[in-house]
Structure 1
């Protein structure tokens, strides 16, 4: 694969993200190198705000699918024409030359991986958990760190499990860890601390930890979602 081939399909699932979609699309354009990105697919799950029109105005290809991040990302992967899939949350901003880092990693035979992460916050509490993202262990992974994966590998792994309304990123990444060596790239994505600021940092991190524990103890997808609805979504 040539380093200058536009082989990356960026997939961004959205639902009522008018406040964030322009920021991430502008960041992609500012931080990408020429010719690496083949397309940006924004997969909308039924937004009732201006998200779709803003995405179109910034040059993204808009797809419409059923609500649910796993289903939306699977749709994006199915429609993608690039050899590399890069899944990006709408409130996570990729680092400078992120596309070159991904393309070079794949050229070296690294089939799946992510970036390290930092929050747009000066909180020491959040800085600690961001620091943990440099550790190459599946417990330290999450969708906010973004994810690149060879498209053939993605489909060999059956994609995201749409039974998971939440935890879909973690569940899929854990399957990737079992299939191939997982790569942590040295640069960092910058993700929003909005949920922590809204819900309380310690409280929200505690509930995320409980969800991790429930999953490892065998909780079913609907049980994880019920806990999320009770303690996080409220």
Structure 2
């Protein structure tokens, strides 16, 4: 019987973060859960591709749009289940046991509780907000997403858009999302660089503008600035 899970990771110049993400996946390989590793790259100019190939990944190349990268990666995946991760996310030890239990019990999509790799009180506040938001059906991509191929196809998968692709899929999965008993630790580097309050506020404002129907291409341009 083939291993059930395809790992899909979108990347763009992720050479610094990717090794820790992949190292944490080893327990899934040892448990016989991981069928393949797919890196959907958006044109990295660093060693991302070389690192991915050294780990035995299939590397896909395409335009640097996270939604498009995820859509290509998931379309290529052969597993009965998809585990989608960001390159700067590290799953907590014991995640494989939690995931295996989820595969046996239900067909809902699952997300992990978010923490940051540093930041003290500010990090704790932002993580608590993220986990509260997720309980109301809006987990973000840095919390990981475990979803069956059957359910992914039924809701239409990730839209090919540069921003809020994870929110769009979460909305499509309304009523079919559950919290997994595991932790996803993501990098706090961007928060430390930009400021916790500034970046957190910008993320919330971008979400509200998205819900208000603003053009996602314009939102993405403003977000990058």
Q: TM-score, normalised by structure 1?
A: 0.89
Q: Does 1:118 align with 2:93?
A: no
Residues of 2 paired with 1:31 and 1:39: CA distance? 11
Aligned to 2:182: 187
Which shows bigger deviation, 44-53 or 82-91?
44-53
Shift of 1:97: 2.9
Aligned to 1:81: 78
- Which consecutive residues of structure 1, in runs of 5 or more, have no partner in the other structure? none
CA 1:134–1:222 in 2, change beyond 3 Å: closer, same or farther? closer
CA deviations over 1:129-169 (Å, ceiling 9, x no partner): 21234431134x2111011111121112111111x211111
Q: Does 1:169 align with 2:132?
A: no
SS in 2 for 1:138: coil
The size of the alignment, in residue pairs, is 223
Residues of 1 paired with 2:190 and 2:208: CA distance? 20
Shift of 1:114: 0.5
Is contact 1:31–1:95 with CA below 8 Å preserved after alignment?
no
Shift of 1:25: 1.1
- Superposed, 1:146-157 pairs within 5 Å as 146-157=144-155
CA 1:42–1:22 in 2, change beyond 3 Å: closer, same or farther? same
Is contact 1:93–1:190 with CA below 8 Å preserved after alignment?
yes
Which shows bigger deviation, 6-15 or 29-38?
29-38
Shift of 1:5: 5.5
Q: TM-score, normalised by structure 2?
A: 0.92
Residues of 2 paired with 1:74 and 1:213: CA distance? 24
Q: Does 1:228 align with 2:215?
A: no
Q: Does 1:15 align with 2:12?
A: yes
CA deviations over 1:30-88 (Å, ceiling 9, x no partner): 56542011111111111111111111112222222222111111111111111000100
Q: CA-atom RMSD, angstroms?
A: 1.8
Shift of 1:193: 0.1
Aligned equivalent of 2:140, options 136, 142, 145: 142
